[in-house]
Structure 1
Amino acid sequence: MKQRGRHRRRRRGRALRAVLAGAGLALTATATLISASQATVTDDPGALRPLTSAAELSVLRLTEQPVPAPALNRLAAAMGRPVDAGAVLDNADHTLRDAGDCTAEEKKALPVEPAATRAYCWDAADAATRQWRPESVATAGDLDGTGRWGTHRLILSGWTHRGADTGGTGLARVAFVDADDPYHLTYTWALLAVPVDGGRDYRGLASHVSGMVWYQDKLLVTTSGSESDALYVYDLRRIERATVTADAVGRVPGGWSAHGYRWVLPAVASYRPAAGSCERTGRGGARATPADAAPPCPTGLSLDRTSAPDSLVASETTPSGSGRHTRLWRYLFSADPGRSGLLAAGPGGTVAAEEAYETKADGVRGVLAHRTAPAGGTDWYLGRTAGRRGGHGTLWRQDARGAQATECGTSGDTHRCWGDGAGSLSYWPASGEVWSVSGRMLFALPLSSVERALR
């Protein structure tokens, strides 16, 4: 029986690789045909410029704002004893479809080169909705060296609700994906919330979650819209169960509601720009220097375990075609066991950027920093949107010496090979894979294949 099971898994693995290879060949041909009408290599962002002046670094400082413990305890007392991420996975009630079961339209969002080696699309109802959009991903590879939460391999994906009639931002939710069986991924939803009224109630997080990082027992997510904080922090050991199934969010007659979802995560802390509100949208034109700009709102996040200590990597987004430069920077995580998953903070809860750079690239949505050798420098990988031209985005690797992009096709423009949507990037050290989201696809590919495509 075990031997037959292994044969079935091998056949399914070969079938998946054939499907993805076929999709990659088709997309490569398409990219070659249309590349003449797209941008050329003149969008090379060149080398990173280090930001070292006090003025340039000061606008990156954050102030930590913990949710008071009495408020969290009051909410837990009213809603019931919190559970952890493992309990949420035990109630997974949706199934991700393998690439072979995804539509051709869904698979158009996948990278052309390097091709995905794992790819999944959401169940039919979640794939069809246009009110919710997947924007970010974090994996248990961020958690620790084992890449597991208890016995589970776990992937998180952040989705943003577009306001029903306004096109604005409504709510934010997270898919908890059980990835124990790579051929059968299941998931369930949890709503992101913020305690209010001293823990007597909560509201939904009205924000894009374009970036997220899972470190130790904490989930850090980006904010936007009406939220005044740069990052919110959630504790994956403090997940509450909703008791009423309704569209409302918070306390309702008869109990607690989470927009129809079974689970809700109340925030335990946030980080606010120390210099005031951060700059969320471009004003047009080129920025003179970062020192002249407002504090940037992080839109891309990832974890760098090759730094010492581990660090949170962040990027801002400037509009494609604006000519504005983009800042990349990092914060160190705290080494204090009593502050697991939180950033290293000084007096008054101030968090300073450890290092920062400026790139000429615009339209950056995903960022990843990784040092391949102990004595080598750090490579910064930037996923950029296709911009007004549509089609596929680009994936660049930059350092202080220059930039390279993944390439495909044979015509004058060979750089538009990355996903159609350029979602966030998450590196899983144990497998050497980079996970991302593009369109309605969740996918992974080896970092080594990115390096080959760059060369």
Structure 2
Amino acid sequence: MAWPAAIAAAVVAAGATLLTGAAPQARAAVADNPGALKPLTASSELAKLTLTENTVSPDSIAELDSRLPNVGVDTVLKSANHPMTRTSSGCRASEKAALPISPQAASAYCFDTGDALTQQWLPQSVTSSGDADDDGLWGTNKVILSGWTHNDHLNDEFPSEPDEDKALARLAFIDANDPGDLKYRWVLLAVPTEGGTNFAKMGSHLGGMVWYGDKLIVTASNGDAHNNAMFVFSMKHILQATKNDRAIGKVDGGYSAHGYQYVMPAIGSYSLSGKCSSANDDAIPCFASLSLDRSSTPHRIVANEWFSSGGTQPARLFRYDLAPVTNDMPLAVNSARKATAADAYETKAVGVQGTLSYQNTWYVPSARGGPGQHGIMWRQDTGGAASTSCTGTSPAIACWAKHSESMSLWWPTKTVWSVTEWAADANGKWQDPASSGWEDRVVPERVLFSVPLSSLG
């Protein structure tokens, strides 16, 4: 089935733990015990989670491949030009302070200075070759991907921000072969247009992603006009720009990717039956984050929706079966090309920006909204909830990282990776990048870190 041309057109325009079954309060706050997960089994509830598979014409992908050099992951890694620093040997005090208190990070890194401070971009997600293949390697490489989305709030607050930068999405391909020498290269995400003779920005907020086989699945919301919940990319189609320009797509004498050297065009998407809503958990959900559950048979994609840590709204967690990695598209679908949720639950944890499931236990961190606040890592199942206690925080269970985003389980070593988001000022406000001395007001708190799964309880 061809991916409708209207989609592309719209994008162009657009410590110790203890399980307890204690019931949560009716109006939960971040630190309230969320209690047990509530299974959602009604057909009317599950119908809101149904996805329709859309594919880009193979002819369009082939056309783009013929117009730009098609490179592989290894080529991108060998061109990595942004160093990362271990927090154990460097990094700013504010970056180190963003790490979990308990459990302590097994490894942690801060980003290159420009990315540590930038107001235009926000780190949102993590996946890796530990997701992609059960041996943890892509070819001969250990790779971590960090997904960043454009900070569209800046366009509303600061006139200096160009509107054409809205809904941009990019990936840091991190060479993780040497734990003491991580480095990365940026790759822009795009969609093919004009029958594969051109491409445009993805045009949607990137909140979560999973690398499975050669496919990369990323969330789409808050900008996509055709109800897409996820876009799909392929490691077989990483293209090298032939011109260095701020434009995206065809330019005089070649193709440009907004100044980036590499670009990945989507090969398909999954759409919902209508426009998603973040008003409550009774509507069609906006997909906030993704992770991979290799402990299930078949393997499953894990998704969650997000509501503000300042509210009390429960959120849904749900999973979809994956197809064999040899398939053209990653989700298992029926004869009507529909992917139905394998299971779904409601959590009363507040401010959920990422979740992980493993052997039917769910790891659900609550990200607290204010400056300097550590999060709370909840461990939930259908019998109750648990958290870790530590010292020096209020509440005492606020032991997780500050403003953490999605999580990913490196399967061979059972290591959980995550990333923190903020680089606001001391009051939690973003700075106008055109204002004088804005860098001096930024409090960088962006770190990529890992903890053993066993340390989460």
Instruction: From 130, 133, 155, give the equivalent of 1:141.
Output: 130
The question of whether the paired residues in 2 share the 8 Å contact of 1:110 and 1:420 is answered with yes
Structure 1 unaligned blocks of 5 or more: 1-23, 25-38, 372-377
- Alignment correspondent of 1:254: 253
Deviations 1:103-157 (A, max 9, x none): 0012221111111110001111221211111111001110122100111000000
Deviations 1:141-182 (A, max 9, x none): 101221001110000000111245325843110000000000
The question of whether the paired residues in 1 share the 8 Å contact of 2:167 and 2:223 is answered with no
Q: 2: distance between equivalents of 1:410 and 1:392?
A: 11
When residues 258 and 398 of structure 1 are mapped into structure 2, their CA distance, relative to the original with a 3 A threshold, is same
Instruction: From 423, 429, 434, give the equivalent of 2:416.
Output: 434
Deviations 1:380-418 (A, max 9, x none): 011211035751111111000110112212787211111
Amino acid at match of 1:319: S
Q: 2: distance between equivalents of 1:40 and 1:416?
A: 13
Alignment of 1:317 with 2:317, yes or no, is no
Q: 2: distance between equivalents of 1:337 and 1:432?
A: 24
What is the Cα-based RMSD across aligned positions, in Å?
Answer: 1.9
Q: Secondary structure at the match of 1:138?
A: strand
Q: 1: distance between equivalents of 2:110 and 2:393?
A: 31
- Alignment correspondent of 2:217: 220
Deviations 1:50-108 (A, max 9, x none): 1111101111000000011111111112223x222122112111111111210001222
- 1:189 Cα deviation from its structure 2 partner: 0.6
- 1:428 Cα deviation from its structure 2 partner: 0.8
Q: 2: distance between equivalents of 1:118 and 1:49?
A: 34
Q: Percent identity?
A: 44
When residues 321 and 258 of structure 1 are mapped into structure 2, their CA distance, relative to the original with a 3 A threshold, is same
Amino acid at match of 1:441: V
Alignment of 1:175 with 2:172, yes or no, is yes
Q: 2: distance between equivalents of 1:73 and 1:63?
A: 24
The question of whether the paired residues in 2 share the 8 Å contact of 1:41 and 1:415 is answered with no
- 1:238 Cα deviation from its structure 2 partner: 0.6
- Alignment correspondent of 2:292: 303
- Alignment correspondent of 1:276: 274
- What is the TM-score with the length of structure 2 in the denominator? 0.83
Alignment of 1:197 with 2:157, yes or no, is no
Deviations 1:194-223 (A, max 9, x none): 111221211112322221100000110011
Q: 2: distance between equivalents of 1:428 and 1:177?
A: 14
The question of whether the paired residues in 1 share the 8 Å contact of 2:30 and 2:350 is answered with no
- Alignment correspondent of 2:348: 360
The 5 A counterparts of 1:46-65 are 46-65=35-54
The question of whether the paired residues in 2 share the 8 Å contact of 1:392 and 1:416 is answered with yes
Amino acid at match of 2:276: C
Alignment of 1:210 with 2:207, yes or no, is yes
Alignment of 1:117 with 2:103, yes or no, is no
Q: 1: distance between equivalents of 2:191 and 2:29?
A: 45
When residues 338 and 389 of structure 1 are mapped into structure 2, their CA distance, relative to the original with a 3 A threshold, is closer
The question of whether the paired residues in 2 share the 8 Å contact of 1:304 and 1:312 is answered with yes
When residues 336 and 155 of structure 1 are mapped into structure 2, their CA distance, relative to the original with a 3 A threshold, is closer
Amino acid at match of 1:221: V
The 5 A counterparts of 1:325-344 are 325-335=314-324, 337-339=326-328, 342-344=330-332
- Alignment correspondent of 1:245: 244
Q: 1: distance between equivalents of 2:263 and 2:341?
A: 31
Q: 2: distance between equivalents of 1:325 and 1:128?
A: 33
When residues 400 and 256 of structure 1 are mapped into structure 2, their CA distance, relative to the original with a 3 A threshold, is same
Q: Secondary structure at the match of 1:73?
A: helix
- Alignment correspondent of 2:65: 76
The question of whether the paired residues in 2 share the 8 Å contact of 1:106 and 1:441 is answered with yes
Q: Secondary structure at the match of 1:86?
A: helix
Q: 2: distance between equivalents of 1:342 and 1:268?
A: 11
- Alignment correspondent of 1:448: 454
Q: 2: distance between equivalents of 1:249 and 1:348?
A: 34
Q: Secondary structure at the match of 1:366?
A: coil
Amino acid at match of 1:243: T
Amino acid at match of 1:234: F
Deviations 1:298-317 (A, max 9, x none): 11110000000100000001
Alignment of 1:346 with 2:343, yes or no, is no
When residues 89 and 165 of structure 1 are mapped into structure 2, their CA distance, relative to the original with a 3 A threshold, is same
The 5 A counterparts of 1:91-110 are 91-99=79-87, 100-110=89-99
Q: 2: distance between equivalents of 1:385 and 1:345?
A: 33
Q: Secondary structure at the match of 1:408?
A: coil
The question of whether the paired residues in 1 share the 8 Å contact of 2:29 and 2:312 is answered with no
- Alignment correspondent of 1:6: none
Q: 2: distance between equivalents of 1:348 and 1:241?
A: 36
- Alignment correspondent of 1:28: none
- What is the TM-score with the length of structure 1 in the denominator? 0.83
The question of whether the paired residues in 2 share the 8 Å contact of 1:40 and 1:413 is answered with no
Deviates more, 1:112-121 or 1:124-133: 124-133
Instruction: From 371, 379, 385, give the equivalent of 2:361.
Output: 379
- 1:48 Cα deviation from its structure 2 partner: 0.6
Structure 2 unaligned blocks of 5 or more: 1-14, 16-27, 158-162, 422-445
When residues 334 and 278 of structure 1 are mapped into structure 2, their CA distance, relative to the original with a 3 A threshold, is same
Alignment of 1:417 with 2:403, yes or no, is no
When residues 103 and 160 of structure 1 are mapped into structure 2, their CA distance, relative to the original with a 3 A threshold, is same
Aligned length: 396
The question of whether the paired residues in 1 share the 8 Å contact of 2:81 and 2:185 is answered with yes
